[in-house]
Amino acid sequence: MPVSKGFVEKQEVTVLRDSGCNGVIVKEDLVPTEKFTGDFKWTLMADSKCVRAPVAKIQIDTPYFTGEVEAVCLKKPLYDVLIGNIGGARRPDDPDVEWRMGSAQPAAEEEDPLPFASEDISELLRDDRATVHRRDQPQVVSAVTTRAQAKKDKTTTPLRVTNSSATAVVDRDRLIQLQEADSTLTKYRSRPVKEMTKGEGTVQFEVKAKILYRVFQHARVNGGKPLRQVLVPQPLRRQVMEVAHDSIMGGHLGVKKTSDRIQAAFYWPGLHADVTRFCRSCDICQKTIPRGRVPKVPLQKMPLIDRPFKRVAIDLIGEIKPPSEEGHRWVLTLVDYATRYPEAVPLKKIDTETVAEALVDIFSRIWGS
């Protein structure tokens, strides 16, 4: 883990560079009283719990970030300081190698701005262009990025991930307002407070402190104790599913586990159907699902193609090594289903524009001949 030493208000601390955090967290005991701003922030923890904590402006000096920053103060954080993905913070794998313990202390006297002023002129050498050099001055070599290296370092498009910082914090008054305005929850609010049988368990709806709850009790749920669930209004349901499925501790689990996680604290009519659609449409889950988890589709009879170029088969062959003398590494192939007429076009690259231009060239040549 990216753990190092650092300073908070000139106090030595242990620092964790947390790539899953979107702010700075500091141990409350390390913050002087005058540094507290008087504000409070709701913080979503790794276990999906929300904690209201005071805010302070502190001076930190670490290998990952140095300067004044606004931090959330917790009584018992995992480390003295947690630095998240804030502006100016270095990556977890890229700490400042020149940072040293005590670098926050006042520096020694400034160096003489004219280092050669007191030296004997015999220590200096002059070349034909009258450029001054010191005998012991090291030579500086500049690194150049070659075209091959730039191509190797070309960034790839990352998977879309949910920005947890965009999750809005909903206070109690806002929740009450949305519950009262939601037509899908009206019937539960108007029902009398009485128990209803649901399988082997019982269900009842109640209003407590103006918030509508569903109380579910089952011998195999919550140790047999009543489970109080907040009824979620429509505008907040997607946000709840994102936290349960996409958050740091969500893990992109399946439909059942995501539903169980939500129902531990929340409920709304049609919850299971909504969670099913949400999980099956998750971009990251679709791209990273293990092989064999996608069900096989039974074979069907293929239609007979009775007209040339009504249907064609297109494929890419490559990467071919070594490439041709012209630098072609790929071959775009096209075969007509009806006549078995083949086409093959050599390509130097297979980006969208290159492939599209090759296909246009093929069909222009075929239909234009």
> Strand, coil or helix: what is 118?
coil
Structure tokens given for 322: 């070594």
Region of 334 (left: φ > 0; alpha: ψ -120 to 50; beta: rest) is beta
For residue 331, pLDDT over 90 is answered with yes
Answer whether residue 114 is part of any domain: no
pTM beyond 0.75, yes or no: no
Measured on CA atoms in the order 112, 118, 123, 129, is the torsion positive or negative? positive
311 neighbors 305 (Cβ within 8 angstroms) = yes
Same domain, 277 and 334: no
Same domain, 22 and 78: yes
174 neighbors 235 (Cβ within 8 angstroms) = no
Give dist(CA 92, CA 366) in Å, integer: 55
CATH code, domain carrying 11 = 2.40.70.10
Q: What's the pLDDT at 196?
A: 67
For residue 84, pLDDT over 70 is answered with yes
Q: What's the pLDDT at 167?
A: 56
Answer whether residue 163 is part of any domain: no
Same domain, 265 and 329: no
Measured on CA atoms in the order 36, 39, 40, 43, is the torsion positive or negative? negative
Answer whether residue 119 is part of any domain: no
**Domain boundary residue, one of 24, 54, 83:** 83
Same domain, 218 and 324: no
Same domain, 194 and 275: yes
Q: What's the pLDDT at 329?
A: 92
Q: What's the pLDDT at 155?
A: 53
**Domain boundary residue, one of 83, 102, 134:** 83
For residue 129, pLDDT over 70 is answered with no
Out of 104-113, 181-190, 273-282, 286-295, pick the least confident.
Answer: 104-113
Select the more confidently predicted residue: 240 or 44: 240
Answer whether residue 256 is part of any domain: yes
Q: What's the pLDDT at 346?
A: 93
204 neighbors 190 (Cβ within 8 angstroms) = no
Answer whether residue 108 is part of any domain: no
Answer whether residue 237 is part of any domain: yes
Residue 195, strand partner residues: none
Answer whether residue 352 is part of any domain: yes
Q: What's the pLDDT at 319?
A: 86
Q: Where is 73: in which H helix or E strand?
A: strand 66-74
Same domain, 185 and 276: yes
Answer whether residue 127 is part of any domain: no
Same domain, 249 and 344: no
Q: What would the pLDDT profile of 268-312 be if each residue is shown by its tens digit?
A: 999 999 999 998 888 888 877 776 666 677 788 888 888 888 889
- The domain of 247 spans 170-288
Q: What's the pLDDT at 275?
A: 92
| Cis? peptide before 319, omega within 30° of 0 | yes
Q: Looking at the 3D structure of the chain, how many domains does it have?
A: 3
Same domain, 341 and 273: no
When pLDDT is cut at 50, 70 and 90, the band that residue 195 belongs to is low
Same domain, 280 and 318: no
Q: What would the pLDDT profile of 159-173 be if each residue is shown by its tens digit?
A: 444 444 445 678 888
When pLDDT is cut at 50, 70 and 90, the band that residue 199 belongs to is low
Mean pLDDT of all residues in 182-194: 77
Angle at 304 between CA 303 and CA 307, to 5 degrees: 125
